[in-house]
Chains A and B, each alone.
Chain A
Amino acid sequence: MKQFASTTTLAAIVLAAAVTTAPAQDTIKVGVIQPLTGAFAASGNYVANGAKIAADEVNAKGGVLGKKLELVIEDNKSNPTEAAAVAEKLIVRDKVPVMMGAWGSGFTLAIMPKLMEYKVPMLVETSSAGKITTSGNPYIFRISPPSAVEAVAFAKIVDKLHIGKADFLVVNNDWGRGAAEDFGKMFKEHNIKVGLVETMDPPAQDMSAQLAKIKASDADTLIVTTAVEQLTLIFKQAAALGLKKRIITTGGSQNPDQLVEQAGAAANDTTHITFFTPWKPEVSADPAMAKAFIEEWKKRGYPFAGLTESFRGYDGIRTIAAAIAKAGKAEPEAIRAAFWQIELPGMNGKIKFEKAGPAGQESGQSTPGIYLIKIENGKIVLPSRECRFGHRCVEGSVLRFSCRNLGRLPLPFGERVGVRGLQNSRQS
């Protein structure tokens, strides 16, 4: 008995030693903060799964600086307070030198003071509120487009849509209100009148009141900004109310396949601004990479609908891996400096950070591509692939573009819209 006790004690000590020392020696920890439970659990898990694919891919090729990447994934519970708390936990207890997060703009904004406090950089993969990169936080590097960039990209085809007057229905947080502001400003520049700006709480399920008001307005188009669950409800409720206006959604969290499946006929003839086109990987900025990612995603048994979110996690972790490699050491300040120097292909265009925000403490903002898709008869159609942000629109790229011709169109290179000019105009 005594013999047994001492053997097990020894075994326990050895095991404990193995657990505490082994990973510290040959891994580099990367913190990931996503909404894994709560209202945005679906999206957060997609992004986390995309991140895992990227980390596995990096590790299969030998890792970074001879060490394996180890993702420490934390749940912000779809709650800003939790987001700040887990960021602190990742920095203080796990000692991660860099993080990725946190899906919603509200969650990201809640984390930002912690980045200043501990001087740890964070890559922002989804959030689109403008003030994330304009508030002077030098630890922020964003690969998702802020709504102002979306609005500028959309401006290139807006004249062809012949919108007379537009109403807005947006989720009542930094994301939605920011989109209403940026798109509203762009519409006014194009002599499009802005009518109602209605909001809805993030967990709200019944938007009939707002939609009844919008139905009675004289606008011809409705711009909606929110995530897929509320979009599904809005389409169904709009159809039930007999609302017959053109609906355009922004923000890139639409998961169009899920909309088709769950909103059914109500999703027909709606237009969406998305940031990745898994239906046509060949129009992606790096078709081979997009195809490989989609293959791996399917192989792991994840739903196809999740791809429009998961690519963000994939791109984010690859960007972080590149920054660590460039920095030459896994230390926050070195990684922060390296973010400014790296350049790599992303799913929707080159990832390269440009300065945004007040001078002296700029945040990094990459300029991704933007695509416009349309749902027609339960199918996803890409009417305007040539309207990729950063390139000139080709004549005739109207919304009713036939899906048949897509594969054969050459990618035209035209005048590039500088993101710096855009950021400056936002500040002024």
Chain B
Amino acid sequence: MDEFLQHLLNAVMLGGTYALLGIGLTLIFGIMRVVNFAHGELYAFGAYAVYLVVAALGLNFFLGLVVAVIAGALLIEVALLRPMRGADIDTVMLVMIGTWIVMQNTELLLWGGVAKAIVTPFPEAPLVIGPVSISWLRLFVLAAALILIAASYVLIQRTKLGKAMRATFQDADTAALMGVNIKGIFTATFAIGSALAAAAGALLGPVFLVTPTMGDLASLKAFAIVILGGLGNITGATVGGFILAFVEEIGAGYVSSGYRDAMGFLIIIIVLLFRPTGLFARAERVG
């Protein structure tokens, strides 16, 4: 039972970060029809930004988080996507694959292949509650992830900007006729999606290690979560993130750790068999 509680706690910790990764990707795909293969690289970018601020410049860890999120939000949107606006989905997809390769190798060139560790102000000794134990850093990461998820939800569902985003998502032409600034919406959406990926990287960089290839696995998980939850659906991405984490953790704990990743994909296959549009696909989705 103690072991099960520990597994459950691990799954919740992991799920929060998976959800954060999934939300950013699902937003960008759902609204902009951009298959963002560079999502994982934005995750790595966020982690390197924190490393730069904390280790290289010697500044505060929390300041590093803020810098990572802002820089991540602006990076690809301003440099690449704005000139590409109106290009078809395949062209943008190829550009994003190129971006992925360029970013990963630039990181390798700048920082080398040796993994970097980020020092945080949290104590190393874990918090022990009865039979289970957890590090303070992961607790902070979970809290931050939940806050970011809630903030995204409020932004999309409760604000005027969110309403305009959803309108654009349903039918961009009609939204434009109704006076929605489509270009502005695209910029905002990609910036928010990228910022969430960079935030995930900035939060998880210190938990794990910062390496040039860290984004590959993150990308894979993010795509899996988005497919599981239904494209363009924030609730779906959140629930999908927690389901994937839970299945991986329990699968590794009680079935076989060698098939840990296979468990996640098994669940996705089962979901797609019975609900081909994902768990939470909406009827109003167009396209």
A interface residue numbers (CB < 8 A to B): 36-45, 78, 172, 198-201, 203-206, 208-210, 212-213, 215-216, 228-229, 232-233, 236, 239-242, 258, 261-266, 303, 305-306
Contacts and interface: CB of A to CB of B under 8 A. Distances in A.
Contact of B213 (A36, A38, A208, A240): A38
Contact of B126 (A204, A212, A240, A262): A240
B124 A206 contact: no
A229 B128 contact: no
Given A42-B114, A210-B257, A232-B115, A205 B3 contact: no
B99 interface: no
Contact of B124 (A42, A232, A264): A264
A212 B253 contact: yes
B17 to A, nearest CB: 9
A209 B3 CA distance: 10
Interface string B180-223: 00000000000000000000000000001101111011000000
Interface of B: 2-3, 6-7, 10, 13-14, 105, 108, 112-117, 124, 126, 128, 133-135, 138, 208-209, 211-214, 216-217, 248-249, 251-253, 257-258, 260-261
B113 A45 contact: yes
Contacts of A213: 3, 252-253, 257
Contacts of B212: 37, 41
Given A198-B257, A209-B252, A239-B124, 16 more contacts: A36-B113, A37-B105, A37-B212, A41-B113, A41-B212, A203-B213, A205-B208, A205-B217, A208-B13, A209-B10, A212-B7, A212-B253, A233-B209, A236-B135, A240-B133, A240-B135
B252 A210 contact: yes
A194 to B, nearest CB: 16
Which of B13, B209, B257 has the largest number of chain A CB atoms within 10 A? Answer: B257
Contacts of B134: 240
Residue picked from B209, B252, B253, most chain A C-beta under 10 Å: B252
A172 B216 CA distance: 18
Contacts of A198: 257
A208 B128 CA distance: 15
Chain A contact residues: over half helix, strand or loop, or mixed? helix
Q: Which of A41, A44, A233, A258 has the most chain B CB within a 10 Å cutoff?
A: A41
A7 B258 CA distance: 65
A258 B257 contact: no
B271 to A, nearest CB: 21
A407 B105 CA distance: 44
Given A42-B114, A216-B3, A265-B124, A201 B261 contact: yes
